[in-house]
Structure 1
């Protein structure tokens, strides 16, 4: 049971972007985790699987760049996914210093299953918005994510 007094957004914060983004993000992380738990992956691992499902093979560092994660984080994510049997590393035939990371058949299956669950969780999460409102929100977020970073 929740207490409406503790769940309500304080009026002084109701129009602050940082406060709203933080709390919506926390709610999404919880909803996403519930949806993905049965598939043995979290949101970050699912993102790695999605990036690796691209048309061409990626090195570990190329995948890290696409995900905007540092080298150490990427190594940990790939290690975890490799332990779960969802990816495999191999040396690049063109550059022996690079590790190519590819999905295994189990990884492709897991990606397909978990993506369906993620999409359904996203649909439920955005349900308070009209379909056009949800599309507008996603377009606005894509625009902000793609905008050049401010020097400030």
Structure 2
């Protein structure tokens, strides 16, 4: 799909540029993840669950910065796809934890690979140095502590 150039009056406005970059990125992400049967939000949930041993839905929602109701819907969808399961916590019987199934771990690995490849293509107009710098700059703007995450995952 060919895109019109931004109106000249908007071509240097940060909000316009960030919004339209985000829209293009989400389109590309949806295309890359569609063969894996998940979307970007579901991939984020799988990644957070994989990165922690035992998280409740509420704890995972907190790490992702989303509300409880949205998280319940995401976990329900992932459970329906047999990618996650809810279990009673052995440490606290009042708490249910959410964990990846073996299919969830495999799906995460495959979808993560597709995401990384999509991001590499998306950032291809930039040099690898510029792409890494963009990631570090965005991390700084959203308050990610220095040294967290790897720009090479996205570059």
| TM-score, normalising length: structure 2 | 0.89
Per-residue CA deviation, residues 4-43 of structure 1 (Å, 9 max, x unaligned), is: 6xx1111110111111011000000000000000000000
1:120 maps to 2:117: yes
Aligned 8 A contact 1:92 1:99 in 2:
yes
1:69 maps to 2:71: no
Partner in structure 2 of residue 150 of structure 1:
none
Per-residue CA deviation, residues 53-88 of structure 1 (Å, 9 max, x unaligned), is: 014211111110110000000000000000000000
> Superposition pairs for residues 3-152 of structure 1, below 5 Å?
7-146=4-143
Aligned equivalents of 1:53, 1:44: Cα separation in 2: 14
Per-residue CA deviation, residues 112-147 of structure 1 (Å, 9 max, x unaligned), is: 000000000000000001101100100011111117
Aligned 8 A contact 1:88 1:101 in 2:
yes
RMSD, matched Cα: 1.3
- What SS does the aligned partner of 1:53 have? helix
Aligned equivalents of 1:97, 1:72: Cα separation in 2: 19
How far does residue 94 in structure 1 lie from its aligned partner after superposition? 3.1
Which of structures 1 and 2 has the bigger CA Rg?
1
Relative to structure 1, the CA distance from residue 77 to residue 52 in structure 2 (aligned partners, 3 Å threshold; closer, same or farther) is same
- What SS does the aligned partner of 1:89 have? strand
User: Which runs of 5 or more structure 2 residues have no equivalent in the other structure?
Assistant: 145-155
Aligned equivalents of 2:111, 2:38: Cα separation in 1: 8
- Count of equivalent residues: 144
